[in-house]
Structure 1
Amino acid sequence: MFNVLDSQNSLKRRVALAILTLTTIGATIASILHRLQPAPHLIDLFASVFLAIASLSLLVYLYFNPASLRLVVRIALFVTVFFLVLPSWLFTFQAFSSPHFSLAGSLPPITSALFLLTMIMLIFLRPQRLLYTAIAAWVAIAAPILIYLILHPVEMLTARGMDLLISLGPAMGVQIVLIFFYNRLQNIIDRLYAERLQYYSQIIERQSIRQQAIEQAFTQIHNGPLQTLAVLLREVQKEQTIPNSELLQRLTELNTEIRSVGQNLRTDEDPAQPLATSFSLEPTISESVLRLGEGTCVNLTSPLHQLFHEVYVLTLKRNLPYFQTIQIKVRNFAPIDNFPFTLELKRDLCLWLEEALCNVGKHAEGVTRIVVTGEQLNSCYILKVEDNGIGLKTAEENLKDQQGTQLGYALAEKLGGRFQRSPLPKGGVRCELCWSIKR
């Protein structure tokens, strides 16, 4: 939309520059011709010279100040109307006061200028002002001349008199009617354009909501059932056999987690309806509620450091294998002041923290200590998860959890910060998200 408006303003500016250039040239030529006349009228000499100076000044000003188009157009229209109204009233008054003075024989050719003025207003004025401005200009310029011709039928019946009568009367009336219909047509076009723009905006908004819902659903499945499934697969690979009763219990828990995620994504609020009939491509996830992978919902309207604490406590309660070996737990989340956190941003940060903690529970073999902190340092906030497990031995292990890595880099880009996941010198992994809070 803004590109269209910029293109229109650029085109109007070029048209205005062309009109001012031609007006300057024409007024200059008219000044020379009037000076060559044996007995020029004072108004002809004064008007043509002043019009040439004014047009040249506006031309130079608009050329060096492209943003001043509206101001230049207003001044130009005022000057043009003035130089049409002035001779119209002056020559008519002189004709009324002097019986030997012929208005039809001495009046400058203002009718063509009046038609040109109307076309210029049609280009540059807004439809709401165009009709009233055109009527006002017509009345101010044509009224004294038409009144004089009606009161002096002898001059009216001359060739120039009939030309003035028709040009300033019926012809201008028809032009005003056309302007009225142009106004109505422009209003209809603007309304249709606004409706179409709103329609496309709604489509884009729906697509954005759908994409966000899909991403949130995938994150919930990744942080919930897929974590449980990954642990179960690892234990099966290690132990080769698992008692049927334990396997059945684990699969039942996995089934419950999957169904709880699906239940959370239902668009129909009636839980009695079957899940299959209520599933939609546009799942409605409450903006102010975040469902963690273990099934608990947290309120995103709470302060962010409190949300971090809730995510930390609830995630470490999950039945992940290496959470059981942790003996030392250090956690501290400093409050964050004066930072414009949206609900979406809070959701992403909580999901990132949950993902980082789950990675410790799944991959940090031999872990006995976990340190989870959020602290302000040099106008930056650093959210960090550290463990003392076996660490990342190979590049393959470093990229083992692509979903968490992608989420970290995407969130760092959104915050204008940095994401880092690296091994510690004495074993273990540091997962860190840092961003500036100085805004």
Structure 2
Amino acid sequence: MLPVAAWVLLVGVLGASRTTAGELLQEIESSYDGQYGQCFQSLSGEAGALNLGQRWGESSPTATLYIDLHAVKSAASSFDFRTFDPEGVIFYGDTVPGMDWFVLALRRGKPEMQIHNAITNLTVSGGRRLDDGQWHRVMVKNEGHVVLLEVDGDEHLVLSHVSYPIVEQQEPSMRIGVGGLFIPVQELLTPLNTAMDGCMRRWDWLNQTAEWREGTSLEDDGTKGCFPSIRPGSFFPGRGLATFSLTGLPMGLSPTNGSWSLTLQMGIGAAPQSGTLLAVSSLKQTPVLRLDLQHTDLVAHLGNKTVLLVPLPLRGCLDAQLFLRVTPTRLTLRLGGAESEMPIPRTEFDSLKHLWLSKRGHLVVGGLPGQEISALAQERSYFRGCLHAIRVQGQELDLDSAQSRSNSIWAHSCPGPDDAESKAALDGGN
């Protein structure tokens, strides 16, 4: 992908050519499904890897298997694990539903084990962070009355007298679920956001070759795979959006004089496209502020009158920082090194301010409010690309805290630059 400085030079060269704006726009649109459309397309994924984050808003496991404990000789399970998500369930296992269970999760990026049985109820976490986007080899062992967690061959946690040996269990089978729970979330010993945007591969559950009993739908069209490499961010494949209630977002009032303004920041990576990037809307799903990508421009709409645009790079994949500020007198829009600003009517600012401070509305990312059910809104495209470090009023936005979110969205990972660039290069050479 071209850096911003290279785009500036490229725009200057194009401006000196004889290519008209209309011809260039037609060229961009006609090639969108080719090279440019591959900038952040959902790739086929890594064979043999399982994405744990298939369903948002559900705590049930992504995939499940059952193991005959009578055949277990060694009580050790191991797998490779990779994520940028700092919190969520990696796997859950039980022999007596609701009574004898074990959870391995991440909290603030570090491994956490929760154990519930007749001997003890215990939550413990520690070791180094695993949310670095790298593959780690994880092993959990149950030896006698000891549970041991190893990461990349090093002991992370050792717990004594916390469970019965698995090989001596009276129950005939064990359930193992990855990416979720078999018990209600409120029954966890320590509250946890169960959603996990992570991947698993090369698993070996209690030295058995058991197949997934449930979760075969993971092979269906639309199922999220695992990118060969990842980078931090939230990936929108162009099939849905995320909605946040304004009640959960910072008000943005000045602590000194009580004045108000709205500030939005994010990194954006995308191909040329037409669609809504984000919107602030009323409960009736009427946008009062909207940011659109319109092939050659990033366009801000405030109310029904104000329109402000910043030109996009004419060729290549967009990879730049976006900044938006709305004050009582001005609207400022900046993308990379390009910036535009203009005065705004006080009535339009007051409408936005009243909606935000009343908290009776939504911030929608990736499309228009009501786009899933509104025929009119569906005429516009969902955003397709990667967003990272989304900040609203200075506070970073976590897609796991959304009021609603499409299952198609990766909350904490985007395709690595090597994936996007190599795929674009291959398609461009065809």
TM-score by length of 1: 0.17
Which one has more relative contact order, counting CA pairs under 8 Å at least 6 apart? 2
Larger proportion of helix: 1
Larger proportion of strand: 2
TM-score by length of 2: 0.17
